[in-house]
């Protein structure tokens, strides 16, 4: 490169740095002045700080125009840091300013159900992410996914369509009832629909991050307060996990493993079930799979500076940060990542050092996305710990077990970990999916145990470190929470389980080729047949055995769904007097207010001893559970001429009796 070309490049770099700093300074002053208008007086100092910072940067940039460059005290450290991070100075400015804009998003949003300013909050947050991506644009251009072919694209497209079909068919009928927790999630989403809430940077029902309910509200806006609308986002997240699984396994292993693992996961009864429930559990599997896909893609780069791997680390960080806005098991990924990089640093420090700039980019990605939510948690730490505290065994639960059993705390914890570890192959799942069976059926269970052996044999490989940490994290979460093994807390490990299952199948292909060199088809046919059997029986088990027998329910949930169906079939709006307490009230299960929001329910808590005297000025329905059916005679006496309807359940027993007065 000639001297003239070097000078032109330096001038271009200086000009781009000046342009970026002008952009940053102007936007900081704009945010500062905007926040002054919406912040409380006691909080306005934060807006003044942003304004002052913007003005200082503008002064510095203006000085560079008049003096022909930046002062040495600013120029030298910026270039030194930029060089270490493999960035241009202008890109480094975009990098360090992104967290400031993300923090501004929190200030503009506030901690209430309604944002102080929706346009400013969302603009600042989106700009912070765009600044991050722009800071790594040169790295993004240099990334290459080696070995990917049109065949991979066709496979991933076919698997995605297959996954969508299995998770979308009869979505509002399988599972056959809408649970109360699904209804509660739906009602929280309705708050976004009707304008009672718009802040995505706080928490909502059950102290879960509100962004999930905002996503759920988009479906409800489109399809109304229906079961289909409530379950559609979970179906999409679950189906998209299949191509994410292929992408992950293709990058980390090879095409055969990628195809087998994603094909099995597409038919995995456990994953299909949670893809059909209107809750946030299923999202973590998608985020953690995408996270490690980009993390490993960047990590395996032999020339991090030349291959643009920092951009891949950045994308991994953005995904990890975004995953914190959905289900809480994604929080364990921070511990997994810390342990994983510590192991790799010990194994090969020179190789680890090359990837430090990438890890810095990853950190910025996480920080920028998560700042608004993290700031909320810092102000309300009880909201952060609530999902753990309500299910943790470390506290009153453990004390009660010690008193009840007489065992030591160590013995009880050991038993918990044993139950959690055996949930994959021996111990029946509990709570949100109780198929009277462990997570894995017979053939997958055998393959999983063989896969664990292969994992232990290959423990020097960083890919297997991650799988082991993934499974251990799931066991730990399950063991340290009540109702072990609670199925809903294991959803994020489904991709790892699917991958471990196919490891012995992949090894079998290699070994059979060595043993049967003249039999070209057998090495593929035998593992393929085993996989086909496993996939086929998983589908039969879920759609015929489990769902066909309506196992997913309890009496109260079935009753609430039957009442909702009955009320939706009525020709006009009705007022409901519900004779259900103490077993259940009208609003005990959010199923009813979610599915029939137009109906107002009144619980009759005390059994009546004489005919009611309320004046009926609109169509009214009296609903009696079987244990309070004797009170129907008094209502009929007060309001003769009504219509009696008896609804029976799956076991032919009466769920409720309705007396309809038009």
Q: For the chain, what is the radius of gyration of the CA atoms?
A: 29
According to DSSP H, which parts of 355-493 are helical? Answer: 356-379, 381-389, 396-405, 409-421, 442-457, 462-479
Quote the pLDDT of residue 146: 84
Taking 90 as the threshold, does the pLDDT of residue 516 lie above it? Answer: no
Taking 60 as the threshold, does the pLDDT of residue 480 lie above it? Answer: yes
Q: What are the tens digits of pLDDT across the range 251-271?
A: 999 999 999 999 999 999 999
Q: The whole model's pTM is what?
A: 0.94
Taking 70 as the threshold, does the pLDDT of residue 1 lie above it? Answer: no
User: In this structure, are residues 157 and 565 in contact, taking their beta carbons and an 8 Å threshold?
Assistant: no
The two three-digit tokens of residue 266, written as one number = 């597409």
Quote the pLDDT of residue 270: 97
Taking 60 as the threshold, does the pLDDT of residue 378 lie above it? Answer: yes
Could you tell me the pLDDT band of residue 14, with boundaries at 50, 70 and 90?
Answer: low
Quote the pLDDT of residue 518: 63
Quote the pLDDT of residue 145: 86
Quote the pLDDT of residue 614: 87
Total Cβ atoms within 10 A of residue 536: 12
Taking 80 as the threshold, does the pLDDT of residue 596 lie above it? Answer: yes
Block residue for tokens 């914890």: 413
Q: What are the tens digits of pLDDT across the range 131-161?
A: 999 999 999 998 888 889 999 999 999 999 9
Query: Between residues 574 and 25, which one has the greater pLDDT?
Result: 25
Could you tell me the pLDDT band of residue 9, with boundaries at 50, 70 and 90?
Answer: very low
Return the domain boundaries, the chain. 3-135, 150-546, 555-661
With H, G, I as helix, E, B as strand and everything else as coil, classify residue 281.
Answer: coil
The two three-digit tokens of residue 634, written as one number = 């008094």
User: In this structure, are residues 372 and 105 in contact, taking their beta carbons and an 8 Å threshold?
Assistant: yes
Could you tell me the pLDDT band of residue 8, with boundaries at 50, 70 and 90?
Answer: very low
Element (H, E) at 644: strand 643-648
Could you tell me the pLDDT band of residue 228, with boundaries at 50, 70 and 90?
Answer: very high
Total Cβ atoms within 10 A of residue 14: 17
Quote the pLDDT of residue 291: 98
Quote the pLDDT of residue 304: 79
With vertex at residue 319, the alpha carbon angle to CA 157 and CA 371, rounded to the nearest 5 degrees, is 155
In sequence order, the 6+-apart residues with CB closer than 8 A to the CB of 496 are 467, 470, 471, 474
For residues 388 and 398, what is the distance between their CA atoms, to the nearest angstrom?
A: 14
Average of per-residue pLDDT values in the chain: 94
Q: Per-residue pLDDT averaged across 229-245, rounded?
A: 98
Nearest residue to 631 (alpha-carbon basis) of 647, 654, 653, 611? 611
Q: What are the tens digits of pLDDT across the range 436-479?
A: 899 999 999 999 999 999 999 998 899 999 999 999 999 999 99
Q: What are the tens digits of pLDDT across the range 282-306?
A: 999 999 999 999 999 999 987 777 7
For residues 496 and 521, what is the distance between their CA atoms, to the nearest angstrom?
A: 28
DSSP letter, residue 545: I
Cα 31 off chain centre by: 31
Quote the pLDDT of residue 5: 42
Quote the pLDDT of residue 195: 96
Quote the pLDDT of residue 569: 92
The two three-digit tokens of residue 566, written as one number = 């009955």
Taking 90 as the threshold, does the pLDDT of residue 515 lie above it? Answer: no
The two three-digit tokens of residue 541, written as one number = 């088990």
DSSP β-bridge partners for residue 659: 622, 644
Taking 70 as the threshold, does the pLDDT of residue 401 lie above it? Answer: yes
Taking 50 as the threshold, does the pLDDT of residue 6 lie above it? Answer: no
Q: Per-residue pLDDT averaged across 94-113, rounded?
A: 97
């Amino acid at each position: 490169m000639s001297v003239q070309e070097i000078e032109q490049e330096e001038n271009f770099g200086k000009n781009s740095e000046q342009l970026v700093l002008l952009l940053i300074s102007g936007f900081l002053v704009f945010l500062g002045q905007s926040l002054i208008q919406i912040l409380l007086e006691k909080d306005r100092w934060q807006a003044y700080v942003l304004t002052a910072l913007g003005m200082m940067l503008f002064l510095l940039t203006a000085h560079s125009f008049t003096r022909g460059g930046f002062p040495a005290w600013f120029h030298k450290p910026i270039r030194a840091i930029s060089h270490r991070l493999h960035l241009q100075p202008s890109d480094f400015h975009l990098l360090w300013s992104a967290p400031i804009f993300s923090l501004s998003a929190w200030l503009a949003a506030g901690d209430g159900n309604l944002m102080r300013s929706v346009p400013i909050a969302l603009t600042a947050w989106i700009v912070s992410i765009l600044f991050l991506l722009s800071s790594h644009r040169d790295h993004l251009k240099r990334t290459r996914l080696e070995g990917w072919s049109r065949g991979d694209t066709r496979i991933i497209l076919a698997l995605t369509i297959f996954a969508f079909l299995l998770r979308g068919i009869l979505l509002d009928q399988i599972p056959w009832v809408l649970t109360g927790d699904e209804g509660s999630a739906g009602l929280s989403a309705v708050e976004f629909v009707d304008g009672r809430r718009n802040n995505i940077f706080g928490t909502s029902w059950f102290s879960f991050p509100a962004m999930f309910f905002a996503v759920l509200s988009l479906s409800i806006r489109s399809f109304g307060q229906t079961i289909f609308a409530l379950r559609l986002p979970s179906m999409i997240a679950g189906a998209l996990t299949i191509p994410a699984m292929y992408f992950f396994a293709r990058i980390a292993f090879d095409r055969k493993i990628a195809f087998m693992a994603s094909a099995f996961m597409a038919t995995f009864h456990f994953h299909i079930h949670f893809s059909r429930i209107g809750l946030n559990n299923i999202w973590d599997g998608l985020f953690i799979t995408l996270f490690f896909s980009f993390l490993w893609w960047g990590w395996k780069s032999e020339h991090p500076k030349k291959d643009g791997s920092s951009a891949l680390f950045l994308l991994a960080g953005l995904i990890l940060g975004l995953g914190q806005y959905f289900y809480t098991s994604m929080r364990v990924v921070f511990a997994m990542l810390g342990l994983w990089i510590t192991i790799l640093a010990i194994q090969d420090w020179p190789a680890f050092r090359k990837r430090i700039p990438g890890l810095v980019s990853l950190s910025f990605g996480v920080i920028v996305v998560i700042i608004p939510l993290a700031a909320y948690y810092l102000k309300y730490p009880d909201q952060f710990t609530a999902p753990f505290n309500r299910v943790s065994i470390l506290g009153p639960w453990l004390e009660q077990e010690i008193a009840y059993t007489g065992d030591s705390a160590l013995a009880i914890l050991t038993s918990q970990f044993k139950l959690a570890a055996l949930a994959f192959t021996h111990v029946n799942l509990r709570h949100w999916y109780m198929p009277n069976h462990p997570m894995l059926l017979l053939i997958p269970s055998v393959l999983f145990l063989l896969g664990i052996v292969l994992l232990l044999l290959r423990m020097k490989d960083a890919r297997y470190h991650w799988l082991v940490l993934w499974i251990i994290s799931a066991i730990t979460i399950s063991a340290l929470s009540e109702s072990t093994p609670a199925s809903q807390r294991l959803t994020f490990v489904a991709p790892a389980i699917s991958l471990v299952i196919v490891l012995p199948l992949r090894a079998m292909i290699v070994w059979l080729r060595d043993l049967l060199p003249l039999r070209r088809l057998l090495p593929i046919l035998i593992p393929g047949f085993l996989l086909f059997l496993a996939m086929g029986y998983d589908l039969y088990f879920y759609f015929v055995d489990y769902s066909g027998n309506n196992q997913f329910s309890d009496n109260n949930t079935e009753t609430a769904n039957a009442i909702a169906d009955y009320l939706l079939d009525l020709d006009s709006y009705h007022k409901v007097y519900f004779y259900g307490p103490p077993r259940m009230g009208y609003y005990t299960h959010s199923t009813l207010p979610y599915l029939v929001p137009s109906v107002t329910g009144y619980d009759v808590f005390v059994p009546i001893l004489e005919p009611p005297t309320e004046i009926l000025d609109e169509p009214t329905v009296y609903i009696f559970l079987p244990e309070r059916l004797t009170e129907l005679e008094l209502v009929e006496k007060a309001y003769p001429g009504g219509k009696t309807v008896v609804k029976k359940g799956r076991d032919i027993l009466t769920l409720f009796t309705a007396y309809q007065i038009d």
